[in-house]
Chains A and B, each alone.
Chain A
Amino acid sequence: MEEYLSFVIVGHIDHGKSTLIGRLLYDTDSLPEEKIEEIKSTCQMLGKPFEFAYVMDHLDEEREKGITIDTAQIFFKKGNRNYIIIDAPGHKEFIKNMLTGASQADAAVVIIDTDEGIKEQTRRHIYLLSMLGIEQVIVVFNKMDKVGYKKERFEEVKAELEGFLSNFSIKPAYMMPISAREGDNVVNKSENTGWYEGPTVIDALNSFRNRLSLLERALRFPVQDIYEMDGKKIYAGRIESGKLKNGDSIVILPSGETATVASIENFGPELSEAEAGRSTGITLDRETKAERGSMICGSGSKPEPKTKIKANVFWMGNDPVKKGEEISYKSTTQEVTCRIANIERKINSSTLELLGTDSDELAGLEAGQVSLELDSPVVVDDFNDIPPTGRFVLVKDGLVQGGGIVTHLE
């Protein structure tokens, strides 16, 4: 099977996202054949060359028909690498959609109109990307054709962005001047930016890795459900990191019970081991009190479950969440009641301006460094080590309204 790198393109709707997508498809010859074929042959019959602008007309038409309001997936390939663009809209209302899409991505491309400069939304998007833990980020300074391909203007806007980002230790992997409309530095190197020596967008994407390989990390197997059948008790769930095989000694957290893996249950060919990413089921050599939300770990590395967590949290709900208010913490299948004990600092997620220290509540589109107090202990890891247990959502009134990344394990 082939490898895929999925990435999300974020940016203000007028900064050229759809043109960039069109250009990526066009220059890699990945346009979906059906309707483009008709346009191509019409050009031929009229004796006209097939121009990029016609591709854009077609993509605009698709957009008008409402196909890409939400996250949609666009496939293309270059050489033997396959790519999936998770097209996330830039409109304010659709932040939720952006988060859903971006949270599935391996990488992100942030697009900025070099002529217009950095907009509020751009800042918010970059911040949210870092909140989602996406480290593989390319920032493209688009519409270089509009500013005459001038190095000075590129450097100017780039410096402004770097200044803004330095406050948050966010460092994009690449920053490059492009023109999606004219095709500069997207797939093909441009002659108009002789002063730029870095890679094209496609080369940059090619250097990224897909989904962090969690196979080598410690075992984290959250129990999703328990099935009793044929006298067996099957602990079902998806392995989030590490590997499991028959005979392994495991520990069930937070209770601390130990056991040995008796079998790996698979409906189909017999398996003796299962790895990160696989939905599976196991049986143990003894009875245990494990239930949904219990975390099965290797007896070698035994993380200590916590009730106090420090995290970066962003809030998406229409109503704010107050300090001390009872909400739910959900991470993999672990779900416990909790409350925000303290909001040390909070910022406006787009301007990144400091809104206050020691605040009483967190409102929509605000982000903060908070301390959470949980009513029961959960297994938490450093986000940079094991992402699935290093991030969580906050549920209020039955809906996911916030998300966060663990910054500090006490």
Chain B
Amino acid sequence: MDRLDELESRSIYVIREAYKEYGNVAALWSIGKDSTTLAWLIRKAFYGKIPFPFIHIDTTFKFPEMYEFRKKHAESWGVELLVAKNEKALAEGMGPDKGKFECCTQLKTNALKQFIDEKGYKALFLGIRRDEHGIRAKERYFSPRDEDFKWNYREQPPELWDQYTVKKDNATHIRVHPILHWSELDIWEYIKRENIPVNELYFSKNGKRYRSLGCYPCTSPIDSEASTVEEIVEELRTTKVGERSGRAQDKEQAYMMQKLRMLGYM
């Protein structure tokens, strides 16, 4: 067994454990590389016959390539795909021009909230990794969320020896993170090994590619010539630029440019 086998086995163990424990579960699929890897692991865990649905939270602002990918693979994998949308907010004209935070809250968070309330899922699988972003380092494999989707990270129970928290009464649902311990490089190496289908947006076109996929108005590409999985793995091994840096910095950059203009610099 090598490192990828170990990562894979641990993830499958977590997935099977959560399904056994909660029964009424669903997996969030954002069509990105992490959640697609998670989907792949779920297929492996259940021998291709996945006993629960995948949910795509559709803000309607996703890249067209993502919608194509979703359709193609949901079909070929025989997955029950459910799409969650905040119809009300969309009808009222919600979009990134109303402020990114507001837009994400309405079209992502609330869309999910409404969906869960309706369907009553006890647990959700998410493709979050610890090394992605500061606050994620505090996550657990099984993490309860309360009514307001709030997460009390200081009060987290211990996860000792692969024994995960069982039901907590005042949680509306438990979030399960089977690939918590995978790094970005691990994901790409596994994709390479398993030949997992990957959205073409991750590959370089005209010197640019997307390192992470969000909604198209709020995601920007990085400079890269990597156009195959092998090249991406090589690029990751040698550089360490933050993965999400294409997304968060735009907000701050826009603010700074405005300020500098006001101060007479630009």
Contacts and interface: CB of A to CB of B under 8 A. Distances in A.
Q: Do the two chains bind?
A: yes
Interface of A: 1-2, 4, 32-34, 62, 65-73, 75, 93, 96-97, 99-100, 103, 224-225, 227, 229, 234, 236-238, 265, 267-268, 275, 277-279, 281, 292, 316, 330, 388, 391, 393, 395, 398-400, 403
B45 A70 contact: no
Nearest to A87: B137
B47 interface: yes
B9 A66 contact: no
B75 interface: no
B169 interface: yes
B47 A234 contact: yes
Nearest to B20: A225
A100 B156 CA distance: 11
A279 B46 CA distance: 11
A277 B9 contact: yes
A96 B157 contact: yes
Contacts of A316: 158
A68 B12 contact: no
Contacts of A100: 140, 158-160
Contacts of A225: 16, 19-20
Interface in B138-195: 138, 140, 153-154, 156-161, 163, 165-169, 181, 183, 194
Contacts of A238: 9, 12-13
Given A395-B166, A398-B167, A278 B160 contact: no
B241 A278 contact: no
A267 B166 contact: no
Interface string B197-241: 000000000000000000000000000000000000000000111
Given A33-B239, A399-B166, A400-B165, A73 B131 contact: yes
A267 B47 contact: yes
Contacts of B8: 279
Nearest to B181: A73
Contacts of A34: 240-242
A192 B114 CA distance: 65
Contact of B45 (A71, A73, A96, A279): A279
A277 B154 contact: no
A229 B47 contact: yes
25 contacts: A34-B240, A34-B242, A67-B135, A72-B137, A96-B156, A97-B158, A99-B158, A103-B159, A103-B160, A103-B161, A224-B13, A224-B16, A236-B16, A238-B13, A265-B47, A267-B43, A277-B1, A277-B6, A279-B45, A281-B47, A391-B161, A398-B169, A400-B159, A400-B160, A403-B160
A299 B81 CA distance: 44
Given A70-B153, A265-B47, A278 B9 contact: yes
Contacts, number: 115
Contacts of B163: 330, 393, 400
A279 B166 contact: no
Residue in B9, B13, B160 with the greatest tally of chain A CB atoms within 10 Å: B160
A97 B49 CA distance: 36
Nearest to B48: A267
Contacts of B9: 238, 277-279
A273 to B, nearest CB: 12
B57 to A, nearest CB: 26
Interface string B2-19: 111110111011001101
A32 B43 contact: no
Nearest to A292: B20
B56 interface: no
**Cβ-closest 5 pairs across A and B:** A1-B2, A96-B158, A279-B12, A70-B138, A72-B137
Contacts of A395: 166
B62 interface: no
A34 B245 CA distance: 12
Nearest to A275: B1
A93 B240 contact: no
Contacts of A227: 46-47, 49
B158 A400 contact: yes
Nearest to A395: B166
Contacts of A69: 138, 153-154
Nearest to B40: A267
A399 B47 CA distance: 31
A66 B2 CA distance: 33
B72 to A, nearest CB: 20
A22 to B, nearest CB: 17
Contacts of B194: 268
B134 interface: yes
B239 A229 contact: no
Nearest to A211: B6
